Amino acid sequence: MKNTKQIFILAIPIIIIIVGIIMLLLLKPDPNANRVFVGLFETVEIKVASEIPGRIESIYVNRGDQVKKGQLLATIESDILAAKVKQAEGMFNAAKSVSEKANTGARDQEIMAAQNSYKMALSQYNFAEKSFNRLKKLVEDSLVSQQQMDEVIFKRDAAFDQMNAAKSIFEMAQEGARVEDKRAARGQMDAAGGMVSEAKAYYKELEIYAPVSGEISDKLAEESEVMPAGYPIFTVQKLEDIYAVIHVREDFLNNFKKGSEISGKLPAFNNDSYQFKVTYIAPMADFADWIPTADKGRLDMKTFEIHLKPINKIADLRPGMSVNIKI
């Protein structure tokens, strides 16, 4: 009896340990139960820049200002652009003059001068032809040497060539420029006109307007600074397009269907609950690039980026705030 009592006393701790282990196994919490996904709010940002380089003359807005689409934000000095416009206009005027000259043809005085040169060459040829005919008879009667005859023939042929050359110059003066030359001159004039239009169009770029309504989140330049073309001067945030970005492991992706509604709490608003709609799920998975504290050491699975947009507008909601999604 005494031995039985001792065995029972010794077995009590063992029984307690076994029961404790069983309870721990049964009551062990599921690590995936009541999981909370933390997302950060982002919004569309528009970079506002000028298409031309220049020195900033005036800036009319500051960080945090609300702007409307089409509102004037800044202006750029126009001195350099004005010089470029004058240069382009000069090139256009020169090309226009060449085109007009090609289409108008030679002046009356030039045509008359070409005509007189042709008449003079024709007279010289006629005289040389008559001299040749006279001398030909004398050669036949052996009254003139063959050397003199050769000189007359040479002068007659030279006069004939000069007459034809003068005739061609006269006809060219009458006809004017060739069709190809007229087209080329017209093309040069059109190209110069395009340069003028382009230079004048850049005048519109001297005034920088807000492309969208929103809030000035960043100002990257000050007055009197020289800015290169295409370099952002302002950043405008479209707060009405705000959305939350969360990264969900592939084994939890079934809880987020595109178009479904999900409830989330905002710490910035006393953890009040708001409804969100799943508007985007990344088509391709990627390894975790944003690691919540609870997920450290669990990078063996890929994650998907998901966007959640508030169903109803949330006043004072700003980019950078967080949202907690519990599943």
Higher pLDDT, 45 or 113: 45
pLDDT above 80: residue 146: no
User: Mean pLDDT over all residues of the chain?
Assistant: 77
Residue type, 15: I
Q: Among positive and negative, which fits the CA dihedral 295, 300, 301, 303? A: positive
> What is the reported pLDDT for 66?
92
**Per residue in 179-228, pLDDT tens?**
666 677 677 777 777 777 777 767 777 889 999 999 999 998 888 888 88
Residue type, 45: E
The CA distance from 164 to 125, in Å, is 10
* Structure letter (DSSP) for residue 127: H
Q: Which CATH class is domain 31-60+237-327?
A: mainly beta
Higher pLDDT, 158 or 298: 158
Tokens 């004939």 sit on residue = 160
Q: Which of 19-23, 27-31, 40-44 has the lowest mean pLDDT?
A: 27-31
Q: Mean per-residue pLDDT for 119-136?
A: 74
- Quickly count: other Cβ atoms within 10 Å of residue 28's Cβ: 8
Q: How many CA atoms lie within 13 A of 191 on its CB side?
A: 10
Q: Which of 124-133, 160-169, 172-181, 286-295 has the lowest mean pLDDT?
A: 286-295
The CA distance from 239 to 81, in Å, is 36
Beta-sheet strand order (sheet of 72-76)? 207-209, 72-76, 54-59, 226-227
Q: Mean per-residue pLDDT for 272-296?
A: 71
Tokens 């702007």 sit on residue = 67
pLDDT above 80: residue 106: no
**Per residue in 293-314, pLDDT tens?**
444 554 456 788 999 999 998 9
> What is the reported pLDDT for 120?
80
> What is the reported pLDDT for 309?
94
Quick one: which of 245, 244, 303 has its CA closest to 274? 244
pLDDT above 50: residue 169: yes
> What is the reported pLDDT for 291?
47
Q: Which of 143-147, 254-258, 314-318, 319-323 has the lowest mean pLDDT?
A: 143-147
